[in-house]
Structure 1
Amino acid sequence: MSSGAAPSAPSASAPVSRVAPGPWPRQKRNQVVRACDWCRRHRTKCDNSVPCSNCRIRGAQCSNNAVKATSLPHAYREIEQLRKKVQDLELELQEERGTTSSERHSLRLPSSVCSPPELSSRGSTLESGYGDAQDIWGGVHVGTARSQHKTWYGPSSLFYFLSRFAAFLNSDLLRAQSTDHMLDLNPPSMLLDEPAKTSDQSGPATRTTHSEYLNLSQEEYFLDLYWQSYHTGLLPILDEADFKAYYRSLWKRDGSQRAPSPLVDIVLALCVQYGVSKEMPARRQEPAGGVDATVAGNMYYRRCQRLLAYESESPTIATMQCHLLCCIYLCCGTFQNMADSACGQAVRVAYMLGLHLDPPGTAPLREREVRKRLWWALYMLDSKIGMKLGRPFLVYLSPSSPALPGDGFEVAMQSGSSFAPLGDDVTWLSFHLHQSQLFKATRDLHAAFYSRHVDVDSGKTIWDDVGALESQANFLKSHAAGLEQWRSEVPSALSTKRIGKSHAFATDGTILDIEPFAPLWIQRQRLLLELMYHNLCTNLYRPFISFTHNLPSSTAAGEAANQCALHAVELTLIIHHVLSSTTILAGWYEVFQWQWNAAMTLLGFVFANPRAQSSERARSAINRAVAVFDIFSQSFAVSASASRIVRELAAKAESVVQESQPSQSQTQTMADTSSLPLTDMPLQNGAFVGNDMTTRSTMDDFVNFGGLLQMACDVEQWVDLDMLWPPSGEVYMDPWLEGYESTISTT
């Protein structure tokens, strides 16, 4: 083929040539929102890792740790997610609004169970901010009755105040000090074990039998005490006429044996507890069934508990009354957690019986009023225990809750008791009405105070922030109108008059003018109503006793702390005057507990504010408190321990205040003020005066104070948990209980 010829076509078998592929497209580099400081300084590529890869390799801290990497696509995606969530919520809300009201009512729990209405208007509930140990208020775990198992107490409790008190002095030394040997408690078998009877000191103990209980005349003696004491001065939850008729029907004609009744047993337990402390000196109380009167009548309490077990499935009004009275008995015996549990049982029974609902208008007046009084008695007990122990409440009011009980002449005539009216439409039931209103006003203020949101840095309490404490003081002051209104509405017939121009419920320390010829029940009602008011106010204002900052009286917080001291002083002066000149409050356990609460509060106030406006009156009142404990020690032994503890704490207070006096370089005025004695009147046995502690080291003072402070906690709950259980292997059935059990099985 010549060179000019056209090229021949390629054969079919020859491979077809292909164009060589070009380079792969370059991947888009991830955009970095913000380079870290090290990469930017060294002009090195950074990435969105946290920390970035360069800093992670070299083991250095990356500045991107504090920056949240967010790009524009990330923001768009988050916006779309939020829009979708809003649409879903709007759709759910429309569906809920379309539901009929009857359907909502059938599916919804009663408002009295769901949330407290006193806080719903504020947009929060008590549970959301109250009872959280990590919240701004805090809390404390205390070993109940010196047990290794600890229970929680909230910010309004005396236990929490004592823990702040201890931390102020020296928390490490206080925790290290063991005090188990410092308080001689009663033996563990005191409350729920059957009392033992021995033929001789070396012989084995045998169980008491039915014959060890009181006979008919003895029971009637103690039962007569109930109507002048707990019935009129605490909770009018029994019909006196019906109860007396029911009680006589339980006895055989010859008076040899009484049929079992848990209601009669718990009333007897209360009456024996009160009667022994009122009538019998502490040194002679052992024949009454216990070493101390606080657990007298425990045989009847134990039998009541056994009988109540048979009524658990089908409770009645009498069951509800038993649980309320058991709560009172345990509270008087300083079994605080057991009283709390008994109150919880009463709450469940109340819901089972429908007591949380307003009784129908078709029911007889007598029945309606009994149900109202029971519900409001439960509300008061729940409020009292919740505020005292600093724990959430169990009972709440709702629009369907029963109205306040009546106290008119017609209601009083049908109550079963024949106490004379007091005039101006005031009857013996008026005390219960005004006491219920007092607890409602105080509890509303308490709930609002502790559930209010306060801005405090994380990990700190409110006492670390003066501004937050001042804000709370202003809030409490502006919302205290309910208490002032209650005080102005108390009728004069329920108020103890004062000598001079002063008025009831004042805190000016004027002397009481006790009506000499008034019935015992009305004298006690007047005093208990005012003492309860001062005790509740002391607890409300106590959070403003700050051991962290010195709060001048000119500030709202300082003024609130002074108010706390004044109410505690007034309570102490009233109790001292009444106990030293009358027998109206002799053996009344709750008054002793109020005095103990006031005494420890005053001691804390003196330590925190030695030069405050009310410090002089507080120091004088501590002396009176010791005298009160000395009087109460004639009724029950635990008061003698309280007297000794307050004396020794007062002596430690003198030592600590002297140690904390300002140096000579400060102003002479301040030095002279701080060196004033802790009291303006001498105290017996050397409290506040003439103590020899100034020669000891500061460490010894603090350690000794820690022991005394632990003893102070023991006084509030001075019994062992071991006494709640009978000895192992021993089972005892009361003869009456056996008959009661057989009666139930046959019916």
Structure 2
Amino acid sequence: MPPSSVSVSPDSPQLQLTFEPPPRTRQKRGQVARACDRCRVHRVKCDSGKPCSNCKNRGGQCSYSGAMKAATLPHAYREIERLEQRVEELEQEKEREAEKPAAAVHQLQTPISLPPRSLSDGRGSETGGEQVMAGGPRPKRVWEGIYISTARSPQKTWYGSSSLFHFMGRIDAFLTVALQQSHLADCMHPDSASNLLESPTAVAAEEQAGQLTGPTDDPCTTGEYLTSTQEEYFLGLFWQSYYTSYPILDESEFKKYYRSLWATSDGQRKPSALADIVIALCMQYGMARLPSVERGLKATSRANVCNTDATIAGRWYYRRCQTLLSAELESPIISTLQCHILCSIYLCSASFQNMADSTCGLAVRTAYMLGLHQEPPQSMPRRESETRKRLWWTLYVLETKMSMNLGRPFLLHDSSTTCSLPADDREIAMLVGSSFAPLGENVTWLTWNLNNTKLLLAARSAYTSFYDGALDTFNEGNCQPITEPLEDWLKDVPGALKTQRQNKGVPFSTDRSALQIEQFAPLWLQRQRLLLELMYHNLCINLYRPSVSFAPATAQTPLADGMAMKCAAHAMALTHMMHQVLTSTSILAGWLEAFHWQWNAAMTLVGIVLAYPHDDSTGVARSTIDISLAVLEIFGNSFAVAAGAANILAELCAKVDVLIEESRGKNGGSGGGGGVRLDTMQLVKSYQEVDDESLMVGNFPALPSMDESLDFFDVNAPDFRGVLAQSIDIMATDMYDDFDLSGVNDGYLN
């Protein structure tokens, strides 16, 4: 009812009711997020349409500039304060930039290489070898690498600053400038199947042209498969080798499945992608164990790399595996992922690095399709659940190693992973590997896989800290973000997985003490112990190697030099271990990954000897290179790529020795810290004054101070061709100008 009021008339005692109309409710004014430019100028209501109704009715142009101008005095004051604060920030940034040249003498010296190329689009700035992208509270560092042709095709691919290819490029750039020689067409890295074939199953040019004489036993061209007895032999190698390192299969389930493939009356096995790649991998390993003399081959022959080299043995089975897998790409299953992982390992061992990386990427996507990155449901049987976990973390380890070795971004990230680490208790170990006895102290054959996974997690944490920003702490002389993860991991390694030392030596140290290999331990356990320690040293080499500087030592850099010496210590420790094992046992015979570790250590030592020719530990490092040569020659008796690596290392060492002697002669024969680093100061200065294009075509500066002492480096000499130069483009390898690494020389890993 409408509201009413009661009134009393003075003329009448009767009550009178007076009705009043209800008050009008004021409508709420519509809010406009932002008026158009025309309505804001004329101060009229805008409905924020595009175009608004006012502009539409008046035929005007409706526009939104987005600029919120100060309309009142308080707004103007706030805008002035904001601008003043921005000006102050820019002035402080300019002062910091001006201080950098003065502090550069205390920073890590950059390698001699091509000058950095600046960004042309103005979206970021380059400092040294990294791009500092604009925007955000903390700039993202994008480290540069090199473009290099590592395959048969002249097409170049990119490798990051943590890769061996990048470090070899730095060595080549240093020697090229020091010797005033242009880049040659041949590569520094040894010939492998990837240098001669587009893929493991391709036919070499020599075979296509009919230049090879005599019959060939290559099953890839004859189309012949192994008999059941021969396949059983190679499968027997799998359980004592790759299975204990990559436990992604269930032993009893696979053996049952393999027997079912022969349930036919014609005596032929049914095609199976999983069985084929397991056999191919074991053929590669088994043939690499045999010396080339026993196979009637010469490992140093380039032609033998094409069709009979051990690194591509079993490639007919690999080809059929790839054909069968093509039918499973749309609807993958667990065995599909197992095949992708084993194919990536096969390709990596055959030195097809980019194909291995691509196959690993395919395995990553397949794992995501299968949901392995998530924790298995509790209703799933434990045997199946643990198999899925081991599959996921084995792939995580493989992808992490490959990305760090090639210097490329990671494909797997912790933020999307909820899968917990696999178990290694006795119950699950007996379920999936019944032929392996427990080792005591709650250690089983699966414990190695768990510790290896934790090692790669620790190394990845240190790697990420090094490249993604924790290096800022080096300005205060702190390298703890890098060393701490590996130190923590090392404390938790069980004693059953350590190879003991003679004369009270310490396992996982760099004391180079002789190994005390347990004589009656099973072969798979001896190999697990060695692989874990060798992998640790290899990861430390790659982590410390970027600190090696080829520039002249114009100032003390104790932190950087200390890290470089740690890199050398781990490389020497790995080499001494490898030499003793290969000369006294057969534990690592045919293990192709061990060859790659040794090649990595050998080339690292070459670079360190060149960069620090008169350091106290350089003499030991130089003698260790000779041991590396002996190790590569042992591997070279079985497969060609190792023989080629030994030849390159021998030729390179001869040139390095003469260069060191010449630098000592210039330094008066003293053993001080001068030598090459001080003698090349003027060379580096002249080098930095030359533009990129002149260097790329080999127009090096003429140095009047250089005498004729380096005439022995004849660029046309046959033994020198292919050793120093490679077809690469070095992009911005001056990587460390931003970091003051002085003031700290302790706290490193042993």
**Under a length normalisation based on structure 2, what TM-score does the superposition of the two structures give?**
0.69
- Give the AA of the match of 2:256: A
Tell whether 2:150 aligns with 1:144: yes
Give per-residue Cα distances to partners, 1:420-451, cap 9 Å, x unaligned.
Answer: 00000000000000000000000011011101
| C-alpha distance in 2 between matches for 1:82 and 1:514 | 73
| C-alpha distance in 2 between matches for 1:482 and 1:505 | 15
Tell whether 2:520 aligns with 1:520: no
CA apart distance, 1:147: 2.5
| C-alpha distance in 1 between matches for 2:506 and 2:251 | 34
Partner of residue 281, structure 1: 292
- Give the AA of the match of 2:242: Y
* Larger RCO (CA within 8 A; separation ≥ 6): 2
- For the residue of structure 1 that corresponds to 2:372, the secondary structure is coil
Which runs of 5 or more residues in structure 1 are unaligned?
1-72, 85-128, 456-467, 676-693, 714-747
Give per-residue Cα distances to partners, 1:646-674, cap 9 Å, x unaligned.
Answer: 1111111112222323646x695639999
Partner of residue 409, structure 1: 426
Tell whether 2:224 aligns with 1:218: no
The share of aligned pairs that are identical, in percent, is 47
Distance 1:185 1:275, change over 3 A: closer
For the Cα contact (< 8 Å) 1:131–1:392, is it kept in 2?
Answer: no
For the Cα contact (< 8 Å) 1:130–1:450, is it kept in 2?
Answer: no
Partner of residue 118, structure 1: none
For the Cα contact (< 8 Å) 1:142–1:151, is it kept in 2?
Answer: yes
For the Cα contact (< 8 Å) 1:194–1:207, is it kept in 2?
Answer: no
CA apart distance, 1:154: 0.6
For the Cα contact (< 8 Å) 2:223–2:316, is it kept in 1?
Answer: no
- Give the AA of the match of 2:564: A
Partner of residue 34, structure 2: none
- For the residue of structure 2 that corresponds to 1:225, the secondary structure is helix
- For the residue of structure 2 that corresponds to 1:410, the secondary structure is helix
Tell whether 2:551 aligns with 1:548: yes
* Range 171-180 or range 509-518, more displaced: 171-180
Distance 1:603 1:247, change over 3 A: same
| C-alpha distance in 2 between matches for 1:353 and 1:274 | 30
- Give the AA of the match of 1:245: K
For the Cα contact (< 8 Å) 1:357–1:402, is it kept in 2?
Answer: yes
| C-alpha distance in 2 between matches for 1:551 and 1:301 | 54
**Under a length normalisation based on structure 1, what TM-score does the superposition of the two structures give?**
0.69
Give per-residue Cα distances to partners, 1:99-136, cap 9 Å, x unaligned.
Answer: xxxxxxxxxxxxxxxxxxxxxxxxxxxxxx99969967
Q: Which of 157, 161, 168 matches 2:167?
A: 161
| C-alpha distance in 2 between matches for 1:695 and 1:556 | 33
| C-alpha distance in 1 between matches for 2:674 and 2:409 | 46
| C-alpha distance in 2 between matches for 1:191 and 1:287 | 13
- For the residue of structure 1 that corresponds to 2:575, the secondary structure is helix
* Range 289-298 or range 378-387, more displaced: 289-298
Give per-residue Cα distances to partners, 1:229-258, cap 9 Å, x unaligned.
Answer: 1111x2110111111110110013457211
Partner of residue 563, structure 1: 566
CA apart distance, 1:138: 2.3
Distance 1:357 1:189, change over 3 A: closer
- For the residue of structure 1 that corresponds to 2:148, the secondary structure is strand
CA apart distance, 1:551: 8.4
Give per-residue Cα distances to partners, 1:160-182, cap 9 Å, x unaligned.
Answer: 11111122222495553222799
CA apart distance, 1:287: 10
| C-alpha distance in 2 between matches for 1:610 and 1:702 | 26
- Give the AA of the match of 1:402: C
| C-alpha distance in 2 between matches for 1:435 and 1:552 | 40
Partner of residue 449, structure 2: 432
For the Cα contact (< 8 Å) 1:143–1:150, is it kept in 2?
Answer: yes
Q: Give the length in aligned residue pairs.
A: 565
For the Cα contact (< 8 Å) 1:174–1:706, is it kept in 2?
Answer: no
Distance 1:541 1:672, change over 3 A: closer
1:156-305 equivalence runs, <5 A: 156-171=162-177, 175-179=182-186, 187-188=196-197, 191-193=200-202, 212-232=224-244, 234-254=245-265, 256-281=267-292, 284=296, 290-305=307-322
1:191-590 equivalence runs, <5 A: 191-193=200-202, 212-232=224-244, 234-254=245-265, 256-281=267-292, 284=296, 290-398=307-415, 400-452=417-469, 471=475, 474-550=477-553, 555-590=558-593
| C-alpha distance in 2 between matches for 1:403 and 1:671 | 51
- Give the AA of the match of 1:597: N
- Give the AA of the match of 1:188: L
Q: How big is the alpha-carbon RMSD for the aligned residues of Structure 1 and Structure 2?
A: 3.9
| C-alpha distance in 2 between matches for 1:557 and 1:530 | 25
| C-alpha distance in 2 between matches for 1:589 and 1:237 | 20
CA apart distance, 1:702: 10
For the Cα contact (< 8 Å) 2:219–2:316, is it kept in 1?
Answer: no
Tell whether 2:646 aligns with 1:643: yes
| C-alpha distance in 2 between matches for 1:591 and 1:219 | 25
| C-alpha distance in 2 between matches for 1:374 and 1:452 | 31
Give per-residue Cα distances to partners, 1:179-237, cap 9 Å, x unaligned.
Answer: 27997665537722379899x969999996886110111111111100111111x2110
For the Cα contact (< 8 Å) 1:551–1:558, is it kept in 2?
Answer: no
- Give the AA of the match of 2:235: L
Give per-residue Cα distances to partners, 1:552-599, cap 9 Å, x unaligned.
Answer: 897111111110000000000000000000000001100000000000
For the Cα contact (< 8 Å) 2:373–2:416, is it kept in 1?
Answer: no
- For the residue of structure 1 that corresponds to 2:649, the secondary structure is helix
Distance 1:705 1:146, change over 3 A: farther
For the Cα contact (< 8 Å) 1:408–1:427, is it kept in 2?
Answer: yes
CA apart distance, 1:641: 0.9
Q: Which of 667, 670, 673 matches 2:672?
A: 670
Q: Which of 594, 602, 607 matches 2:605?
A: 602
| C-alpha distance in 2 between matches for 1:160 and 1:504 | 30
For the Cα contact (< 8 Å) 1:662–1:670, is it kept in 2?
Answer: no
For the Cα contact (< 8 Å) 1:431–1:525, is it kept in 2?
Answer: yes
- Give the AA of the match of 1:230: Y
| C-alpha distance in 1 between matches for 2:222 and 2:604 | 46
| C-alpha distance in 2 between matches for 1:600 and 1:549 | 20
- Give the AA of the match of 2:672: M
Which runs of 5 or more residues in structure 2 are unaligned?
1-71, 84-127, 134-140, 298-302, 678-707, 729-750
Give per-residue Cα distances to partners, 1:286-314, cap 9 Å, x unaligned.
Answer: 99992311111110111111110000011
CA apart distance, 1:512: 0.3
CA apart distance, 1:638: 1.3
Distance 1:497 1:359, change over 3 A: same
Tell whether 2:714 aligns with 1:700: yes
Distance 1:221 1:476, change over 3 A: same
Tell whether 2:630 aligns with 1:657: no
Give per-residue Cα distances to partners, 1:664-710, cap 9 Å, x unaligned.
Answer: 6x6956399999xxxxxxxxxxxxxxxxxx97606536997673034
Give per-residue Cα distances to partners, 1:607-626, cap 9 Å, x unaligned.
Answer: 00112232122111101101
- For the residue of structure 2 that corresponds to 1:398, the secondary structure is helix
Distance 1:296 1:667, change over 3 A: closer
Give per-residue Cα distances to partners, 1:337-366, cap 9 Å, x unaligned.
Answer: 001001100000000000010111221111
For the Cα contact (< 8 Å) 1:632–1:639, is it kept in 2?
Answer: yes
- For the residue of structure 2 that corresponds to 1:141, the secondary structure is strand
For the Cα contact (< 8 Å) 1:130–1:392, is it kept in 2?
Answer: no
| C-alpha distance in 1 between matches for 2:578 and 2:172 | 27
CA apart distance, 1:484: 1.1
